[in-house]
């Protein structure tokens, strides 16, 4: 592929501004990389990784996953640092320094980009964006930043491997990214991953529940497949040591929770407490059964995100055991979801349709052979490229939307994708609708919330689109799918059975049920 020639004055500017020693190092590094044979998989991987980071798509997708995983501030700070670094590198740095890029004839054919960039070479915008995002995330959450750092380094190296940049270009870009994250910290101090512990102040009418020092009367259902993407010790040993009298059942593929619980309650010694150790989907299913058999719920956080457990102040298995031993509990609101008039299901966090259920379905399909984080990253990239709006009718009003979220109790006001309630007992549903508009706005709004997307619109980096919210106690949503494709629905992070396999969702009704769940919770 022929390159468009760079203006001679741009190339000469690099010769004038770059010290001879820097240019010598660039040449040595380029010769060593290009002269060393690499496995074709590495060549292709470098090309794909470099392309994935074009226009920040890789980082914005990852920021969206962090936001949904409870690291919203980290995702927002990373995106903001990336934006500043990209502006400084591409709009300022390249105009001041410029310079020609490496010659394609020196780069092995198998590792060349399909479209070689033609903008000035110094600094590397990809490297600046990667370093800005990783450093911004690390300022809010050092642990998450450490996990993202190698990916940022791989993106920076891919610019060398594919012959898109000189070594000094990459170093300059990395320096700009870290500098912009540092400047951002000076302007808006980081909180070092200080997560909102909602449950400690979330209310809920206090109730006295059956106390058990050794687990007597507890049927605990453990889902070992939950939380596979994060390191968490197996709770079985801790439960056996601290609750030796509890009946513990580890779930296997194909187990029916309803059958297991019904059999236990049909025995001569039915349980007095139902316990769940797993993610939000598992907890929601067991909560539904606890309501059906009129027993309190014991939640041991064992999933990836644990939105409901955190809202109830349950940060660890130890918190749950202490609450059980003290007999302290609260009454928590739940919602009931009925699809096409079917028997209602219990919802603990949120009901959603549109882009998010499509993301969940795609992630679940891929996390069988990838981790949840990597599978989520791939799913976000695919869904956000291919997603289409859906047509809905709410209270007689027709609309084309990207997403509808119905949160149980009020959620944080800054986001259009509520996931974790601020209280346990305010008796309302929090409905958020993101109307159809430009796809980039939908991505930014779902990933970062209203304030950040508004700032990006002010900078003319995003077009305008409408989002609305309302508080109610019941909402009926009719979904129309004119192209015949199924409309997916999710609740508590799980795609509803049938909605992704050809069944057309016609109508969903969500109602609030105040104080309908008795729940063990630590004292405020």
Same domain assignment for residues 153 and 208: no
pLDDT at 417 (0 to 100): 66
User: Which structural domain, as residue segments, surrounds residue 481?
Assistant: 350-513
Q: Is residue 520 part of a domain?
A: no
Q: Last residue of some domain: 333, 358, 384? A: 333
Q: Last residue of some domain: 141, 158, 187? A: 187
| Paired tokens of 280 | 């939000």
CATH number, domain containing residue 292: 3.40.50.10330
Q: Last residue of some domain: 187, 218, 253? A: 187
Q: Which are the contacts of 317, defined by CB distance < 8 A and separation ≥ 6?
A: 235, 238, 239, 277, 300, 301, 302
| CB half-sphere exposure, 419, CA atoms < 13 A | 26
C-alpha span between 151 and 142 (Å, rounded):
15
Same domain assignment for residues 167 and 253: no
Q: Which are the contacts of 252, defined by CB distance < 8 A and separation ≥ 6?
A: none
Q: Is residue 340 part of a domain?
A: no
Would you say 333 and 205 are in contact if contact means Cβ atoms under 8 Å apart? no
SS3 label, residue 337: strand
Q: Which residues of 451-481 are buried (b: 16+ CB within 10 A; e: fewer)?
A: ebbebbeeeeebeebebebeeeeebebbbee
Same domain assignment for residues 385 and 366: yes
Same domain assignment for residues 204 and 160: no
- pTM score, whole prediction: 0.62
pLDDT at 54 (0 to 100): 84
Same domain assignment for residues 311 and 180: no
Residue linked to tokens 């491997």: 161
Q: Is residue 461 part of a domain?
A: yes
| Paired tokens of 68 | 């949904």
In DSSP notation, 176-231 reads: HHHHHHHHHHHHS---SS----GGGG---EEEE----SS-TTEEEEE-TTTTTTS-
C-alpha span between 208 and 518 (Å, rounded):
10
Same domain assignment for residues 176 and 222: no
CATH number, domain containing residue 365: 2.60.200
Same domain assignment for residues 296 and 392: no
pLDDT at 6 (0 to 100): 44
pLDDT at 469 (0 to 100): 81
Residue linked to tokens 């190698």: 150
Same domain assignment for residues 281 and 170: no
Would you say 284 and 335 are in contact if contact means Cβ atoms under 8 Å apart? no
Q: Is residue 217 part of a domain?
A: yes
Same domain assignment for residues 418 and 448: yes
Rg for the chain (alpha carbons), in Å? 26
Residue among 292, 282, 262 nearest 348 (CA): 282
Q: Which residues of the chain have pLDDT under 50?
A: 1-11, 192-201, 448-449, 452-453, 456-457, 459-464, 499-503
Same domain assignment for residues 182 and 202: no
C-alpha span between 373 and 228 (Å, rounded):
10
Number of separate domains in the chain: 3
Task: Report the number of secondary-structure helices (H) and strands (E) in the chain.
Answer: 18, 16
Cα–Cα separations (whole angstroms), residue 507 to 338, 395, 416:
8, 12, 22
Residue among 451, 470, 460, 461 nearest 405 (CA): 470
Same domain assignment for residues 318 and 467: no
Q: Is residue 43 part of a domain?
A: yes
Q: Is residue 522 part of a domain?
A: no
Cα–Cα separations (whole angstroms), residue 285 to 161, 361, 475:
49, 18, 22
Same domain assignment for residues 376 and 324: no
Would you say 120 and 99 are in contact if contact means Cβ atoms under 8 Å apart? yes
CATH number, domain containing residue 70: 1.10.606.20
Q: Is residue 345 part of a domain?
A: no
- Largest Cα separation within the chain, whole Å, is 89
C-alpha span between 319 and 102 (Å, rounded):
58
Q: Counting Cβ atoms within 10 Å, is residue 105 exposed (0-12), middle (13-18) or buried (19+)? A: exposed
Q: Is residue 316 part of a domain?
A: yes
């Amino acid at each position: 592929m022929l390159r468009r020639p760079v203006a001679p004055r741009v190339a000469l500017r690099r010769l004038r501004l770059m010290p001879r020693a820097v240019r010598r190092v660039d040449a040595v590094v380029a010769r060593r990389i290009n002269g060393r044979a690499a496995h074709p998989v590495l060549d292709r991987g470098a090309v794909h990784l470099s392309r994935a980071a074009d226009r920040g798509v890789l980082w914005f997708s990852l920021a969206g996953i962090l936001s949904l995983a409870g690291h919203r501030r980290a995702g927002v700070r990373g995106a903001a640092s990336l934006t500043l670094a990209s502006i400084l590198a591409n709009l300022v740095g390249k105009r001041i320094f410029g310079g020609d890029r490496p010659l394609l004839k020196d780069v092995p054919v198998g590792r060349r980009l399909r479209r070689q960039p033609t903008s000035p070479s110094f600094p590397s915008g990809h490297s600046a964006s990667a370093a800005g995002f990783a450093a911004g995330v690390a300022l809010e959450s050092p642990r998450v930043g450490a996990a993202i750092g190698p990916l940022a380094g791989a993106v920076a190296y891919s610019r060398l491997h594919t012959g898109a940049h000189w070594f000094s270009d990459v170093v300059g870009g990395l320096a700009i990214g870290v500098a912009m994250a540092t400047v951002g910290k000076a302007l808006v101090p980081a909180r070092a991953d200080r997560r909102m512990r909602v449950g400690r102040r979330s209310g809920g009418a206090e109730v006295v529940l059956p106390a058990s020092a050794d687990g007597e009367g507890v049927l605990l259902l453990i889902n070992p497949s939950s939380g596979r993407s994060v390191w968490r010790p197996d709770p079985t040993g801790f439960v056996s040591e601290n609750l030796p009298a509890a009946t513990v059942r580890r779930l296997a593929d194909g187990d029916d929770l309803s059958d297991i619980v019904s059999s236990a309650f049909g025995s001569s010694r039915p349980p007095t407490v139902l316990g769940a150790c797993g993610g939000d989907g598992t907890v929601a299913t067991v909560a539904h059964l606890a309501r059906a058999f009129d027993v309190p719920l014991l939640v041991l956080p064992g999933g990836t995100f644990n939105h409901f457990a955190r809202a109830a102040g349950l940060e660890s298995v130890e918190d749950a055991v202490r609450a059980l031993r003290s007999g302290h509990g609260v009454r928590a609101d739940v919602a009931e979801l009925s699809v096409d008039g079917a028997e209602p299901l219990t919802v603990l966090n949120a009901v959603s349709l549109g882009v998010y259920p499509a993301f969940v379905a795609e992630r679940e399909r891929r996390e069988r052979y990838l981790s949840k984080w990597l599978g989520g990253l791939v799913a976000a990239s695919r869904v956000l490229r291919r997603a289409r709006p859906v047509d809905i009718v709410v209270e007689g009003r027709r609309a084309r939307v990207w997403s509808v979220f119905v949160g149980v109790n009020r959620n944080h006001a800054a986001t259009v994708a509520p996931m974790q309630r601020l209280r346990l007992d305010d008796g309302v549903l929090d409905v958020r609708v993101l109307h159809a508009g430009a796809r980039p706005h939908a991505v930014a709004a779902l990933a970062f919330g209203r304030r950040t997307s508004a700032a990006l619109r002010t900078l003319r980096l995003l077009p305008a689109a409408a989002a609305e919210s309302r508080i109610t106690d019941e909402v009926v949503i009719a979904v129309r799918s004119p192209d015949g494709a199924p409309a997916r629905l999710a609740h508590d992070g799980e795609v509803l059975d049938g909605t992704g396999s050809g069944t057309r969702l016609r109508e969903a009704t969500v109602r609030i049920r105040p104080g309908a769940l008795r729940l063990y919770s630590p004292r405020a």
